[in-house]
Structure 1
């Protein structure tokens, strides 16, 4: 007899916007799992669950969940699953949860680029409407330093391919990723990629140095020094100042994660000046919130 602790392989992660979604864990870990800042899946070997196990878990949730409108497929990079198997999984989920209105998942640029346009279209038709992509930085030197395993051009190519197939894309950027090093190129080139990509959703998170990560080791050796809250806000301000998308386009923007020193919420392009004003006010008046470091350790 299955129970919830038998189904989920912890730790279990999902984007903040999936707080009320049903999480179905169809993969374990991350297919890349080399980023220097990330500890999410370091203790997991990347695995695609068997179809038998996935179907049993979907059945388990159906018997216990009366109604659900959003479903998130965990762990990292569920899109890497070979298309025939992924389509079978989606068909089964839709059969068991016909009321669901949106399925979403994390996707690496590699997993998007490995799919043909026809495959992506079939996946979208099966209900996957939103894809989460980690840009982190538009600067290739930064991407290389954090061992992202891909160039900014490939991230852009993957994002545009996903958009062309009809997916909405939610993109994350990391402020403070260089610590106290000069982040000018990181900020400018990140804004440049965002301008070309025009994601549906954009989030800027702030670096959290987690115990056991490569960045943590560099910090302990003195090689990496964390940026202050004020330095990070100035970096975010530079990114925002250089995001310039055409009128008629829209990016829903959030920078209100627990890692952020200042909560920002609005849309580009109409709220751009408001964001800059709020950051200026926070810096001038020392209104930089304390992060919940205890929460962020997990």
Structure 2
């Protein structure tokens, strides 16, 4: 198995076999992201990917149950090529239960519903989508490459193809000035999609990203810990979905997870409890100080 650069995967794919299908990200313009800024995007040849799948089968055996294909936007592969990779994965690993990729709305909407169904039939059954925000002003500012409407269209395409959908929301990405708009617009987009999973992340400026430079120059103000919690609270209050919410990332100040709508009140109580904790302690806890 061959890997180029640092490999990133969602926390939920910690137990998955990682086979690199693409290198970098074809969009690579998001101002908050520094992961692929120095990496030129390319798609690995199908035969190379299949060789790595065979090497993994020879090393791990047939018992692999989940596979994740990095890098940042593997859904951008030609449908025929990705189907060939998926067919190979299922042939080599007959017990595999889940095959997943990252896929942004910008590239999902370029496929047809038929292509999405073909991918599902070939074995792709979950896509991780970085929605970040439902607010068009914020989406334009962070150069996400898709509008709120396109986020909805892409999300529904994934679901209608029969795949599971994880949508990621980046709290604090609009700064204090658009915190309310971010929370309410994100809830509105999520309500229109009703994804299987909503995954909460908190914006942390990363060196090498344009937004980090803006923070350094004082042109972007971070949302305070309590501000982040209130942003999450407002979003959850306005969600009308049947989704599992996860706060499964070290960027977050507090673990706010639960099933909506059944556990909404418990989640809000958890947030209120966190809001009683001084912000300095929340910051310290996030950085492993307590």
Per the TM superposition, whether the score is higher than 0.5 is yes
CA contact (8 A) 2:252 2:286 kept: no
Aligned to 1:181: 177
Aligned counterparts, 1:134-149, within 5 A: 134-149=130-145
2: CA distance between counterparts of 1:222 and 1:34?
21
Aligned to 1:254: 246
Aligned to 1:65: 60
**Length-normalised TM-score, structure 2:** 0.94
Q: Which of 209, 216, 227 in structure 2 is aligned with 1:213?
A: 209
Shift of 1:10: 2.1
Aligned counterparts, 1:186-265, within 5 A: 186-245=182-241, 250-265=242-257
1:157 aligns with 2:153: yes
RMSD of aligned Cα (Å): 1.5
Task: Name the CA shift for 1:228/1:52 in 2 (closer, same or farther; >3 Å).
Answer: same
Q: Deviations over 1:272-294 (max 9, x none)?
A: 11111111111124373635559
2: CA distance between counterparts of 1:256 and 1:87?
30
Q: Which of 263, 275, 283 in structure 2 is aligned with 1:283?
A: 275
1:9 aligns with 2:4: yes
1: CA distance between counterparts of 2:72 and 2:193?
22
Aligned to 1:274: 266
- Give 3-state SS (helix, strand or coil) of 1:181's partner: helix
Unaligned 5+ segments in structure 2 are none
Identify which range, 164-173 or 275-284, moves more after superposition: 275-284
Aligned to 1:50: 45
Task: Name the CA shift for 1:284/1:128 in 2 (closer, same or farther; >3 Å).
Answer: same
Unaligned 5+ segments in structure 1 are none
CA contact (8 A) 1:205 1:259 kept: yes
